[in-house]
Homo-oligomer: A and B are copies of this chain.
Amino acid sequence: MGLSIQLDATFAALADPTRRAILAKLASGEKSVKELAAPFAMSAPAITKHLKVLQRAGLISQGREAQRRPCRLEAKPLEEAADWIEEYRRFWEQSFDRLDDYLQELQGKQSEGKKRKKHGSKK
């Protein structure tokens, strides 16, 4: 069934803006804890805790390099999350269709020819 402890951990890790920002930083390469902490008005131990959460979710790994503990992104757990969400794409596309219908109807009433933006275009 859909009960996945991995998914629990992944989504919970992503639910915090600080942690998402950390992952975004790591997307541009390995970073030390200090580098990661720099942009935040937050103590170092707070960052360490966030990193622990990300680590338990498997989203980062940490190495050793002198005093530094460089973090690297491990995005693979996101795959399961993406797959889970994907199941619901049909529904949000439907809701776009309903919006389209509505706008179409409006346009019909106004008999106005202004072009509508197309939805659902895969990046």
Contacts and interface: CB of A to CB of B under 8 A. Distances in A.
Interface of A: 1-4, 7-8, 11-12, 14-17, 20-21, 23-24, 27, 73-76, 78-79, 81-92, 95-96, 123
A84 B20 contact: yes
Given A3-B21, A8-B16, A76-B91, 19 more contacts: A2-B17, A2-B20, A2-B21, A2-B24, A7-B14, A8-B17, A11-B15, A12-B15, A15-B15, A23-B88, A74-B91, A74-B95, A76-B95, A78-B85, A78-B88, A79-B92, A82-B86, A82-B89, A83-B123
Contacts of A123: 83, 86
B75 A95 contact: yes
